[in-house]
């Protein structure tokens, strides 16, 4: 039995006071920068700021933070029948498998997906690995053993990407390391030619290391233009009520103002691509289903 105890970690000072009648929600947070950055007893980052935006509008619940690796968070949600708790994850990809297990909100964060990141100065040299629409042919890029990259040993890049990587994982041009945060510096020093990263992630590390050289995040062919992230809760009455409340907040705020925090973590080129793609997302979302048939 996995019982979650409150960690005391707070994202921002926006938690409502707790009357005895309030029901607990345990937010299981994977402190993965820059979405959630743990600084002493607080959480910051665009994920923490977005979560605060929702929590301050849900005063009927008592909100507890628990730092957990994502796999452990899913295990905790599956075991809530034994613990009697309500556990929610603030950002999980909406897939049919997860929708069968948990209750998912509508999209709360349509973010840029995993990309191939290259130095801006070397962009033209990656043209041979591009499809006609400008996206990267990842298999072709991996197949060129003169182009070096690095992968984190313990990280999953998603089933579709992991399947492609499995074919090249032992190639001499694929370096393996435990320290993903060193990848931008490795690329700056010329030790690797490209890397896989989320655009906000690479920009965060680039700024933290004070590197002035620009990078470009290239979409991967066959991948969605936006990563569809939802809030997931276990199917308790509290979890169902929380997701209903979150969907009401979404309906009342179709412009999704909390995404402003995410945009601040993007470089200039990625910011322009995100804003264009987000406009398309909102247009599609707002079109009645009957009009799309």
CB 147 within 8 A of CB 194: yes
For 1-10, 38-47, 106-115, 131-140, which range has the lowest pLDDT when averaged over its residues?
Answer: 1-10
Nearest-angstrom CA–CA distance, 89 and 78? 12
Q: What is the mean pLDDT of residues 163-173?
A: 91
Cβ–Cβ < 8 Å for 112, 51: no
For residues 202 and 117, the answer to whether their CB atoms sit within 8 Å is yes
Dihedral angle sign, alpha carbons of residues 138, 141, 147, 153:
positive
CB of 101 within 8 A of CB of 78?
yes
Burial category of 190 from C-beta neighbours within 10 Å (exposed 0-12, middle 13-18, buried 19 and up): exposed
What is the distance between the alpha carbons of residues 246 and 167, in angstroms, rounded to a whole number? Answer: 41
Model pLDDT for residues 63-99, shown as the tens digit of each residue: 999 999 888 999 999 988 777 789 999 989 888 889 9
pTM summary value: 0.81
60: confidence class by pLDDT, cuts 50, 70, 90: very high
- Mean pLDDT on 42-66: 93
Tokens of 287: 């079109």
Integer Cα distance of 54 and 49 in angstroms: 9
Q: What is the C-alpha to C-alpha distance for residues 208 and 194, in angstroms, rounded to an integer?
A: 19
Q: Comparing C-alpha atoms, which of 59, 62, 28, 34 is closest to residue 47? A: 34
Tokens describing residue 213: 């050289």
Report the candidate in 5, 82, 67, 1 with the shortest Cα–Cα distance to residue 35. 67
Reported as a pLDDT band with limits 50, 70 and 90, residue 40 is confident
Give the mean pLDDT of the chain. Answer: 85
Angular region, 29: left φ>0, alpha ψ -120 to 50, beta rest: beta
In the chain, the domains with their CATH numbers are 23-111+227-279 (3.40.190.10), 115-219 (3.40.190.10)
pLDDT 10s digits, 198-251: 988 888 877 777 765 678 899 999 998 898 899 999 999 999 999 999 999 999
Axis-axis angle for helices 268-286, 199-208 (nearest 10) = 150
Q: Which residue has the higher pLDDT, 40 or 100?
A: 100
On the 0-12 / 13-18 / 19+ scale of CB atoms within 10 A, 287 is exposed
Please state, in angstroms and rounded to a whole number, the distance separating the CA atoms of residues 45 and 29. Answer: 12
State yes or no: pLDDT of 252 exceeds 80.
Answer: yes
Pairing of strands 215-219, 61-67: unpaired
């Amino acid at each position: 039995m996995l019982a979650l105890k409150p960690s005391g970690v707070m994202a921002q000072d926006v938690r409502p006071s707790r009357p005895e009648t309030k029901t607990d929600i345990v937010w299981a947070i994977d402190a993965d920068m820059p979405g959630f950055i743990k600084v002493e007893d607080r959480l910051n980052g665009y994920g923490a700021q977005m979560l605060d935006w929702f929590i301050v509008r849900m005063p009927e619940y008592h909100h507890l933070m628990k730092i957990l690796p994502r796999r452990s968070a899913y295990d905790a949600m599956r075991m809530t029948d034994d613990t009697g708790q309500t556990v929610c994850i603030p950002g999980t990809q909406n897939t049919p498998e997860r929708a069968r297990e948990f209750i998912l909100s509508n999209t709360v964060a349509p973010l840029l997906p995993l990309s191939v990141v290259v130095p801006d100065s070397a962009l033209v040299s990656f043209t041979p690995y591009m499809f006609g629409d400008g996206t990267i042919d990842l298999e072709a890029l991996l197949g060129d053993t003169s182009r070096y990259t690095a992968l984190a040993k313990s990280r999953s890049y998603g089933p579709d990407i992991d399947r492609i990587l499995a074919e090249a994982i032992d190639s001499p041009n694929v370096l393996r390391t435990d320290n993903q945060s060193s990848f931008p510096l490795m690329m700056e020093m010329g030790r690797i030619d490209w890397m896989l990263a989320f655009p906000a992630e690479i920009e965060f590390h680039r700024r933290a290391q004070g590197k002035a050289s620009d990078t470009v995040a290239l979409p991967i062919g066959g991948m969605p233009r936006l990563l569809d992230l939802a809030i997931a809760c276990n199917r308790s009455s509290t979890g169902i009520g929380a997701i209903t409340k979150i969907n009401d907040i979404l309906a009342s705020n179709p412009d999704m103002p909390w995404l402003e925090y995410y945009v601040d973590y993007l470089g200039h080129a990625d910011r322009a691509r995100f804003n264009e793609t987000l406009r398309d997302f909102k247009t599609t979302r707002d079109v009645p289903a009957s009009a799309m048939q």
